[in-house]
Amino acid sequence: MKIGELAERTGVAPRLVRYYEQQGLLSAPRAANGYRDYGEEHVERVRRVAGLVQAGLPTRVVKVLLEMEDAAAMARPTCPRQVAELLTSELGGIEDRIACLTRSRDTIRDVLARTEHAALLSERAARTAAPA
């Protein structure tokens, strides 16, 4: 598929897809005419990249993170010492973020449930349970 379709399916602007590619987060096979030519696997990949970037990770970190996810699929993953150290230190930051966001999520749910807007919450739950 071409970049336009990929963008539509991921909700990520073509501009950003190219940017991520430039940052080395994305491979981009080319068709004979020079157009980028993506496959299904790229849809997942782009979603994942965008998700991590939106979660506040710099592209530089996302890069090693994803390289590592690729490695994790292997039976006997290898990982240079230096990368392992970077990941170990990032791990703390990631856990902090999770804790911070989790707390906010719980607070939001709690407040919505306890105010007169509980309906919004159940509407949303209904939507996510049966996504169109």
Partner DNA sequence: CTTGACATTGACATCAATGTCAGACTTTAC
Partner DNA sequence: GTAAAGTCTGACATTGATGTCAATGTCAAG
Could you say which residues in the range 34-63 bind DNA, by CB under 7 A? 34-36, 50, 53-54, 58-60
Instruction: Give φ, ψ of 47 to 5 degrees.
Output: -60, -40
29 close to 6: Cβ distance less than 8 angstroms: no
CB of 96 to a copy of itself, least distance (A): 6
DSSP 8-class letter at 18:
H
Residues that bind a copy of itself (rule: CB under 8 A) add up to a total of 49
Q: Which of 31, 32, 114, 131 binds a copy of itself (CB under 8 A)?
A: 114
65 close to 25: Cβ distance less than 8 angstroms: no
Q: Pattern 56-75, binding to a copy of itself, x per CB under 8 A?
A: x--------x--xx-xx---
- Part of the chain binding a copy of itself (CB under 8 A), chosen from 12-20, 27-35, 36-44, 117-125: 117-125
Side chain identity at 22, as an amino acid letter?
Q
Burial class (CB in 10 A: 0-12, 13-18, 19+), 43: middle
Number of neighbours of residue 3 by Cβ within 10 angstroms: 20
CB of 52 to DNA, least distance (A): 9
Q: Is 100 in the site for DNA (CB under 7 A)?
A: no
Number of neighbours of residue 42 by Cβ within 10 angstroms: 22
Q: Which partner, DNA, a copy of itself, none, binds residue 32 by CB below 5 to 8 Å per kind? A: DNA
DSSP 8-class letter at 36:
B
Give the interface with a copy of itself as residue ranges (CB under 8 A).
48, 51-56, 65, 68-69, 71-72, 76-79, 81, 84-85, 87-88, 90-102, 104-105, 107-112, 114-115, 117, 120-121, 124, 128
